[in-house]
Amino acid sequence: MVNLSVTLCGLPLDNPVIPASGTFGYGWEFAAWYDINRLGTFSFKGTTLHPRLGNPLPRIAETPSGMLNAVGLQNPGVDRVISEELPRMREVFHKPVMANISGFSLDEYVEVARRLDGEEDVGWLEINISCPNVHGGGLSFGTSPEAASQVTGAVRKVTHKPLILKLSPNVGDIVSIAKACEDAGADGISLINTLMGMRLDLHRRQPILKNVTGGLSGPAVFPLALRMVWQVYEAVKIPIVGMGGVSSARDVLEMMLAGATAVQVGAANLRDPMACLRIVEELPGVMEEYHITSLQEIIGGAHA
């Protein structure tokens, strides 16, 4: 009998599989397909202080081994998330949920975190300082250790919930940014967000995305994500949530051996709404294949 349970920032998870923010809505959208309580948890749609319509269309483009998105943080704003989405979510999901937060100023991050801190259903705050698809938003706070530290420290003052900083791969030194977040009070690090990319329409001779650039996700980014999880694990002592191109149980084991405590699944959910459930169901068999009895025991196991 294998043990899939792990502990993330002090909170227990039945398994390490977490649908990533922006790919799983508020949970109820997928509850029609399967019992989402079989997941470890999920990170709900990125939330800002005020409602956002997102970027103009088109904002999705396919690539040979992934996709580009420039959705632009479309969401109803934190007040409606609290008054409408969380009660609806509560009907189908009975575990602590991960709240993903974005902002366009330090004050916005702080205010959204403060309001969500009072919600019992929210177990973790995942602070997105890495979104490449909005102008003047989260990515600007995640491009330097100083800015990342400033956001972390400010949000830390208004919440007692576990604080996980979501980092961007679109930087020169992700390790120094991760360490700055840890030093400023982060309880965990979440990485990686999408890579900036673009596609051109040969007929129109113009960018496919109205935003011109978008975030690349999918299997193409997995080796890069794995490398960054490995590097950050060697630099920090706090837990890591690994993500980027994860689409199978074997990918989950690789991420955990590289140093991830839990693993988020993103683009795979958009291609197959059953992807996360399939991974959860496949994990015991794959663990047995590689003689793994407990996932908690393999975290960082590939490091010397």
Report the catalytic residues.
131
What amino acid is encoded at 42 in this protein?
F
Residues 6+ apart with CB under 8 A from 41: 13, 18, 95, 96, 97, 98, 123, 124
Using CA atoms, how far residue 204 sits from 91, 197, 207, 214, 216, in Å, is 47, 18, 8, 18, 22
What amino acid is encoded at 266 in this protein?
G
The closest of 152, 215, 217 to 178, measured between CA atoms, is: 152
Alpha-carbon distance of 159 to 111, in angstroms, equals 10
What are 209's two structure tokens? Answer: 């995305």
What amino acid is encoded at 201 in this protein?
D
Name the strand (E) or helix (H) holding 200.
strand 200-201
